[in-house]
Structures are given as C-alpha cells and as structure tokens.
Amino acid sequence: YDKLSIATGKGGSNSAFMSVTNFQELCGNAQFGFGQIEVWRTHDGGESWQGPAIAGPEAPDSVANCGFIGTLQQTSVAAVGPGGEVYVVWQYGPTFTNVTSTDAKIVLARSLDGGATFEPFGVVANINSMRQNPPVGYTRARLNDHPRIDVAQDGPFKGRVYVSYYS
C-alpha cells in the first residue's frame, strides 16, 4: 500500500474512510501493477475495518501487459459529504510505455452506501502531469500530481464538492 489518506464522518460520526493505492501482483509479479485505488471503512470508531472497496480498479492497459506498461493511479484522497456520501479523488496517468506520457487526469468516484461500493469514476480534469518534470529545486526526480478534495457541510452550497489540483 502507498499514499494513505483518511477522512472522517462529520458531526460526531463514528465513520472513517482510508483510501490507498495498492500496487498489486500482476501475472505472478508482486507489486507490478500501476495501482488500484482501494477504500477501507469503519463505522464503529475504528474498532473494526471493512474492505477494501475498489474505487479505481487497475487500469486495463496495465493488466493486459502484466504491469510492464500501464497507466499510473496514485495519490488518492477521500472526503465525506453531509449525507454520509464518500468521495475519492486521485491522479489517473501518466501512461508508462517505453516513453512516459505527460497526459494525465484527475478523476473522482462516489459511494452512496457508506463506502461499501463505488460508482465508476469520472474525469474532473485533464492535466499535463508533472510526474517526470518536477520544479527546479525539488529534491526528487519525479513528482506525483496530488489532488485534494473537500465537501461543503452546510450553508448555501451544502454538498458541493471542491477539488483542487495542479495544472
């Protein structure tokens, strides 16, 4: 598991949701996939956890090529809406072949059953990934495009989902 994120239910709820990237086994090779977005849930204050629910299954190109080429899924973040709905946003892409692409997307999946299942993800935005081109002075050779999410809990925009991301 990589890039864990946790979100809690609002208003004294005992619910919490942890989203992770699972670099799973493909074709008998451990940690060879490009990432599957999974969500674990608790509704009793952390006494027990259920899951994972799959918000973003391993990309088809990664599965078809046994993880030798594929589309990265990484840096998921969860948020809980005022009605208990669960949202997860993450980076989908770039695609790794013999040359790494710069195209990527910020995608979002929603659960209306307390995190037990997720609807198919939708695209929030197409981005030009910074993955292989981090800013000057950054101390690593690569950089994930970390999106962030929140949901308005009250007021005139109650339930509105806000997503921020690099572009």
Structure tokens at 49: 């956890």
Note the pLDDT tens digit of each residue in 22-67: 998 999 988 888 999 999 999 999 999 999 999 999 999 999 989 8
The per-residue pLDDT for range 109-137, each reduced to its tens digit, is 999 999 999 999 999 999 987 776 667 77
The predicted structure's pLDDT at residue 145: 79
pTM of the model: 0.91
